Amino acid sequence: MKQFKTLADFVGTHFIYTYDNGWEYEWYAKNDHTVDYRIHGGMVAGRWVKDQEVQMDLLTEGVYKITWTEPTGTDVALDFLPNEEKLHGTIFFPKWVEEHPEITVTFQNEHIDEMLAAREKYETYPKLVVPEFAKITYAGEAGEDNEDVISEAPYEGMPDDIRNGNYYDKNYRRVNK
């Protein structure tokens, strides 16, 4: 695996990781202020998002912090240590997401109004705080602003297809579109 040192080394990388609680996520540093991701396991498995605005920072050589607030009201803080194949994430789910996760299990970009309406309709506090360590099980060189990386809903076995080299070609474009 490549060695990560600078923010430029991190941007354009596509990761799959599994939290210690078993939740599996796929996450792409699309550029230095935007990420795309899919959720394959856990409370909101099936959810996927493109063009999420984030704050992305290099803390020290090879250590990155990414933070954002979703339209659901969920706050996320990720600390990536890719040279050690691990990360720590803390997700702050509003009460309504904990009680009605099915509302969020969709392609968020097409349902922003529904997410905002749920924030108004349901309780947001107390938040469910989920702090977990994760093992990075895949890191691919997708390049910046590659729209093929996260371009369809997650399906059963997708992370294995990606890890086994059956999802992207040598240019990091989806096969069998």
Q: Among 17, 19, 24, 25, which one carries the catalytic annotation?
A: 25
Backbone angles phi, psi at 150, to 5 degrees: -120, 95
Q: Which member of 24, 28, 37, 70 is catalytic?
A: 70
114 is known as an active-site residue: no
* 25 labelled catalytic: yes
- Of the candidates 77, 78, 80, 76, the one whose C-alpha atom is nearest the C-alpha of residue 62 is 80
Whose structure tokens read 């506090």? 125
Q: What order of strands is seen across the sheet that includes strand 48-53?
A: 48-53, 34-39, 24-29, 13-19, 128-141, 86-93, 75-81, 63-69, 55-60
Residue in the block written with tokens 């705080």:
129
**CA pair distance 167, 169, nearest whole angstrom:** 7
> So which residues are the catalytic ones?
25, 70
